[in-house]
Amino acid sequence: MNLAALARARAEAGRPVSVALIGAGKFGSMFLAQVPHIAGLSVTHIADLNPDRARAACRAVGWSAERIAATTFLEDGLEVARTPAEVVIEATGAPEAGLNHARAALDAGKHVVMVNVEADVLAGPVLAAQARAAGLVYSMAYGDQPALVAEMVDWARATGFEVAAAGKGTKFLPLYHSVTPDGVWPHYGLTAEQAAEAGMNPQMFNSFLDGTKSAIEMSAIANACGLDVPEDGLAFPPCGVDDLAQVLRPRSLGGQLERDGMVEVVSSLERDGRPVFRDLRWGVFVVLKAQNDYAAGCFRQYGLPTDSTGQYASMYKPFHLIGMELSVSVLSAALRGEATGQSRAWRGDAVAVAKRDLKAGEMLDGEGGYTVWGRACPASVSAAKALLPIGLAHRVRMRCARRKGEILGMTDVELTESHTGVRLRREMLAASLGAG
């Protein structure tokens, strides 16, 4: 609870926490908007494929001409990862680039805040192990749902409760799995022209819609919190905040989970498209299980929404501010040596599923595209079957044909074995199968 005070002390000592940012998109821009207002925090370097665009982003979020002039803008993320900054933020969203930037930063003795959940789910446990061995912090990004859920899970366990379920809300219908970038904007209430004027990327926004981003984020939460991913993938049950404990409990008690200790995403839409009452579209949650009748009684006495037995109760946060909260991770890493969530074990994976019939020789276009969507999957199943992670399903060619709805395997595509993502995933597979 004293991050601001610790940061202010660094400011007064003339040693602000120095930060290098890689990727000045929406998430990065939201972080940059807050930087001038945080004593003891300084962004010294920014990398972007278009440095002029990064400068324009800084102007758009209110940076002064003097602050912009004092900042180094570069195109090469690897160069920025090796700067003298204490903390490197990886916010590109590209798995291969993200892994390379993170490894370079760790090799150079920098703490890493990984906004790039796509990279984290692909090989986060390896990066986290590298950081721990070097006495560095590898952290999830506070403000994004995985870190916020990890915080709630940690709170629940630190107060003695069992975690029955944890996750987030989103807008979802089963038909969304087949949506492509061509059809994404009506689901957001926008025209293609309005989206273009706002600089919105249809493939990125489609990944939020078609279930891929949810699969990635829930897998990250499972890996950070020691929770399990549903065997059949996320169910996206329609559920409002008042019913979380009733819906997200084991099926043996009338709920929709396989057992306690699961991740799940609740939908803000009923299956017929009607809005859910008091939905949690923008928020995160944890469902607690009372350890005894006394604790269950306290749930009721203090107003927590419970299930019909009174043994399960929920806590939730209705909103998140994404990049505007990111400084919590940066300051926590630099000033406390702590991560705001971190991959600790490989328990969940996001694997590629064919959106349509695919032919041999076709090129996959990855997350949010026309060819595949990402499905949450237990890591044990992914490893045993060598399934294709969604993070490796971009710009790779199909070796064989697959039907719509089939989960793809790593042998179904032509992978470049020298790529960091492929090498680290092979390393994770070998470790998993060896342990099994």
**Could you report the per-residue pLDDT of 114-150, keeping only the tens digit for each?**
999 999 999 999 999 999 999 999 999 999 999 999 9
Query: Given 290, 310, 336, which residue is the final one in a domain?
Result: 336
* Positive/negative CA dihedral, 319, 322, 323, 328: positive
pLDDT given for residue 265 in this prediction: 98
Same domain, 277 and 357: no
In a domain, 370, yes or no: yes
Asked if the structure places residue 166 within a domain, the reply is yes
pLDDT at residue 353 above 70?
A: yes
Q: d(Cα 347, Cα 338) in Å, to the nearest integer?
A: 22
- Give the pLDDT confidence of 158-167 residue by residue, as tens digits: 999 999 999 9
Split at pLDDT 50, 70, 90, the class of 1 is confident
**278 and 154 in one domain?**
yes
Q: What is the pLDDT of residue 435?
A: 67
Q: Judge if 284 and 387 occupy the same domain.
A: no
Arithmetic mean of pLDDT over the chain: 97
Q: List 314's β-bridge partners, or say none.
A: 287
Please count the structural domains in the chain: 3
Which CATH number covers residue 361? 3.90.1210.10
Residue 194 falls inside a structural domain: no
356 and 331 co-located in one domain: no
Residues 288 and 366 in one domain: no
Domain membership flag for residue 134: yes
Number of H helices and E strands in the chain, helices first, is 16, 15
Find the farthest-apart pair of alpha carbons in the chain and give their distance in angstroms, rounded.
63
Cβ atoms of 238 and 267 closer than 8 Å: yes
Please work out, in degrees rounded to the nearest 5, the angle formed at the alpha carbon of residue 214 by the alpha carbons of 221 and 256.
Answer: 80
CA 395 to chain centre: 22
- Among 380, 376, 362, which Cα is nearest to 407's? 376
369 residue type, one letter: G
Residue with tokens 């702590």: 338
Of 302, 336, 370, the one marking the end of a domain is 336
Q: Which domain holds residue 375?
A: 348-435
Q: Judge if 31 and 159 occupy the same domain.
A: no
Domain presence at residue 58: yes
Q: Percent of the chain at pLDDT above 90? A: 97
Give CA–CA dist 371/359, Å, rounded.
11
- Which residues partner with 130 through β-bridges? none
Together in a domain, 137 and 150: no
Structure tokens at 165: 């379920």
Helices (DSSP H) in 134-234: which residue ranges? 145-158, 192-197, 202-209, 212-225
In a domain, 191, yes or no: no
Question: For position 436, what pLDDT does the model report?
Answer: 56
Bridge-based pairing of strands 394-398 and 413-414 is antiparallel
Residues 91 and 131 in one domain: yes
For the segment 394-417, the average pLDDT, to the nearest whole number, is 98
Residue that is last in its domain, among 308, 336, 364? 336
Question: 264 pairs with which residues across the strands?
Answer: 167
Contact 400, 412 (CB under 8 A): yes
**Does residue 197 have a pLDDT over 90?**
no
Q: Which helix H or strand E contains 348, and what residues bound it?
A: strand 348-354
0.95 exceeded by the pTM?
yes
pLDDT one-digit tens code per residue, 380-391? 999 999 999 999
User: Measured in Å, how far apart are the chain's first and last C-alpha atoms?
Assistant: 41
Does the pLDDT at position 407 exceed 70? yes
Judgement on whether residues 368 and 415 belong to the same structural domain of the protein: yes
CB contact burial 181-203 (16+ within 10 A = b; e otherwise): beebbebbebeeeebeeeebbbe
Q: What is the CATH number of the domain that holds 99?
A: 3.40.50.720
Residue the block writes with tokens 């999830």: 140
- My answer on whether 301 and 330 are in the same domain is no
The verdict on 124 and 257 lying in the same domain is no
- Phi, psi at residue 322, to the nearest 5°? 50, -120
197 lies in a domain? no
Same domain, 16 and 76: yes
Section 51-70 average pLDDT:
97
